[in-house]
Amino acid sequence: MDPDPADLTALQAAFDMDSRQAPLGWKAVRAFEAEHGIVLPEPYRTFVAEICDGYAPGPPFYGLLPLAEEPDYWGDDRPERTLAEPFPLTTAWLWEGDEDDPRSAEELDAALGQVFDHGSIVLGTDGCGMDWHLIVTGRHRGHVWNISGEGAAPFGTEFGYTTGSPGFAGWVAHWAAGKPWFDVT
């Protein structure tokens, strides 16, 4: 599926040329996809191949990470991420303080591991463990989610937390317009 040309034009306009990291090129994007058994969703796929692969000062607050990078604070002792495994969530989940969850501690840890490590790439962080993920496999492929130590929520008007359009292009447009991420009161 080809990206919407209007999305690519808007993405180019949102990212200042002086702060962009060089795009990866199609050969590197295809190699990443083959290595992980996925195809990146558009327009992010074309964005990292042709426009830029990483950006500071944002979005999010600490900058857009290059493809395949993870936040520095994650460390080197994390389990290997499995991008080809479907992202498990379709609705928001606030797990902190959820005493009604019937799962055992081991089952809950396994479920949380899937949320953090299956079917998504990390776009970047707003700090304090609030990371933005682009879902690359599963029912929410192409959507952006905020995943933190307390819970996970999808970005986009259809989910009720924001007035922003869903997906990578909508997430960037919301940021470029200077709007707060969660602007529904």
- Give SS3 for 176: helix
The range of the structural domain enclosing residue 54 comes to 5-65+79-176
Q: Is residue 48 part of a domain?
A: yes
pTM for the complete prediction? 0.93
How many other CB atoms are found less than 10 A from the CB of residue 89? Answer: 24
**Res. 68: pLDDT tops 90:** no
Which has more confidence, 166 or 107? 166
Structure-token match 């447009």, residue found: 173
Q: What is the pLDDT of residues 72-90, one digit of tens each?
A: 888 788 878 899 999 999 9
Q: Is residue 18 part of a domain?
A: yes
Task: Work out the percent of the chain whose per-residue pLDDT is above 90.
Answer: 65
**Res. 30: pLDDT tops 90:** yes
Give the CATH number for residue 45.
Answer: 3.40.1580
Full DSSP string of 102-166: -S-HHHHHHHHHHHHHBSEEEEEE-STT-EEEEE-SSTTTT-EEEE-SSEEEE-SGGGTS-SSPS
Angle between helices 5-14 and 167-176 (to 10 degrees): 40
Q: Is residue 53 part of a domain?
A: yes
- Give SS3 for 43: coil
Q: Is residue 13 part of a domain?
A: yes
Q: Is residue 88 part of a domain?
A: yes
Domain total in the chain? 1
Q: Is residue 162 part of a domain?
A: yes
Q: Is residue 70 part of a domain?
A: no
41: preceding bond cis by omega (within 30 degrees): no
Q: Is residue 51 part of a domain?
A: yes
Cα–Cα dist 55/64, whole Å: 5
Q: Are 138 and 120 in contact (CB under 8 A)?
A: no
